[in-house]
């Protein structure tokens, strides 16, 4: 029987995480599966609830408590490294703990994974639940990513990774900065299932415009060499076209591209392999809650 670990990062949103566990348990009803959950607690300041439901369909649930908050992407990276080093597994499913990655799609991911053992399975977004402004910003993010990297990245964290992929991801400094960017760069042998972005269980989305911008640039920074080459070519071609027409307005694209290049150079420094290799030293304790 294949062993699957579900990796869930959390920072304070315990109410959502335990709701997620209940939803996962319900989706697994009637399955013959060896599925466990590993929650990476990113140094939450709110106390974790003590009592949980029976959750009979989950083999085990562990909470890995981190000493210092490192952020969502690094939480996932440390979780992958922990599982790869300490757990017996065949697959890892990475999913957010707030309900936006829908548990009802777990079956699609796992079945596709079992059918394609040599591939990573991504949950590609076909529909989102946010407002028009966020959808517009997200479309702009995808467009910029494609233009400057040549990559069409339609997936986020919600993925099914076979063991070989986890091993590869834990050897890439880019995983320490951007999960989806690193996955797109590292593993080309991928297939997908359609995914609808769910609504948060509790509270408003934490993906603000600023966070989306940082998220977008972090992905782009993974492909920094390609980005810098394409940006320089764009600037040369654009400046050639506007010779004799230079003004404050015509220089806006130039300023924008230069700012993006600087941001990419700065964010690429997040890819610190030494920090990634030492990330398990940040573990304070591990609690078994089932």
* Rounded (5°) CA angle 113-156-46: 110
DSSP code, position 241: H
Packing angle of the helix pair 224-241, 252-267 (nearest 10 deg): 170
For residue 250, the Cα-to-chain-centroid distance in whole angstroms is 36
Question: Hey, what are 195's tokens?
Answer: 């995914």
pLDDT at 64: 97
Q: What's the token pair of residue 112? A: 């596709």
Closest by CA to 63, choosing from 8, 3, 4, 5, is 8
User: What phi and psi values does residue 123 have, to the nearest 5 degrees?
Assistant: -95, 95
Q: Residue 275's pLDDT is what? A: 95
The pLDDT score that the predictor gives to residue 184 is 93
pLDDT at 278: 96
pLDDT of residue 205: 66
26, 158, 179, 236 from 49: Cα distances, Å: 20, 25, 28, 57
Ordered strands of the 120-127 beta sheet = 190-196, 120-127, 159-162, 91-94, 3-10, 34-41, 61-66, 283-288
Q: Name the pairing type of β-strands 3-10 and 61-66.
A: unpaired
Report the alpha-carbon distance of residue 79 to residue 99 in Å, rounded: 19
Task: Name, in order, each residue with C-beta under 8 angstroms of 164's C-beta and a sequence gap of 6 or more.
Answer: 118
- Other beta carbons less than 10 A from residue 238's beta carbon: 14
pTM score: 0.89
Domains defined along the chain, listed by start: 3-131+152-204+272-288 (3.90.550.10)
Which residues, 6 or more positions from 73, have their beta carbon under 8 angstroms from its beta carbon? Answer: 176, 177, 178, 179, 218
Q: For every one of its 290 residues, what pLDDT tens digit does the chain have, with 9 covering 90 and above?
A: 789 999 999 999 999 999 999 999 999 988 888 999 999 999 999 988 876 677 899 999 999 999 999 998 999 999 999 999 999 999 999 999 998 999 999 999 999 999 999 999 999 987 655 567 666 766 777 787 888 888 888 888 999 999 999 999 999 999 999 999 999 999 999 999 999 888 888 876 666 656 667 777 888 889 999 989 998 998 999 888 888 788 888 888 889 889 888 988 888 888 899 999 999 999 999 999 88
Contacts of residue 155, Cβ cutoff 8 Å, sequence gap at least 6: 122, 123, 124, 125, 180, 183, 192, 195
Taking the CA atoms of the chain, what radius of gyration do you get in angstroms? 20
Tokens of 185: 């760069």
Q: How many CB atoms lie within 10 A of CB 231?
A: 17
């Amino acid at each position: 029987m294949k062993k699957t670990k579900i990796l869930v990062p959390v920072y304070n949103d315990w109410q959502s995480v335990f709701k997620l566990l209940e939803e996962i348990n319900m989706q697994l009803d009637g399955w013959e599966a060896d599925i466990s959950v590993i929650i990476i607690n990113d140094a939450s300041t709110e106390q974790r609830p003590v009592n949980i439901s029976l959750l009979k369909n989950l083999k085990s649930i562990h909470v890995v408590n981190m000493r210092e908050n490192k952020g969502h992407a690094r939480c996932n990276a440390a979780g992958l490294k922990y599982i790869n080093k300490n757990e017996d597994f065949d697959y890892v499913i990475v999913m957010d703990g707030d309900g936006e990655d829908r548990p009802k799609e777990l079956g699609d991911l796992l079945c596709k994974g079992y059918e394609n053992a040599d591939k990573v399975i991504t949950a590609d977004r076909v529909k989102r639940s946010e407002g028009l402004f966020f959808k517009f910003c997200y479309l702009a993010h995808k467009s910029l990513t494609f233009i400057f990297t040549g990559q069409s990245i339609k997936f986020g964290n919600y993925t099914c990774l076979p063991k070989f992929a986890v091993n590869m991801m834990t050897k890439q400094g880019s995983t320490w900065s951007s999960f989806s960017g690193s996955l797109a760069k590292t593993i080309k042998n991928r297939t997908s299932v359609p995914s609808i972005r769910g609504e948060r269980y509790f509270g408003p989305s934490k993906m603000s415009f600023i966070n989306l911008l940082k998220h977008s640039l972090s992905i782009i920074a993974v492909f920094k060499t390609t980005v810098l080459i394409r940006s320089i070519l764009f600037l040369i071609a654009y400046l050639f076209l506007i010779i004799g027409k230079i003004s404050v307005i015509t220089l806006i694209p130039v300023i924008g591209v230069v700012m993006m290049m600087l941001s990419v150079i700065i964010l690429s420094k997040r890819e610190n392999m030494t920090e990634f290799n030492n990330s398990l030293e940040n573990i304070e304790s591990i609690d078994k809650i089932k």
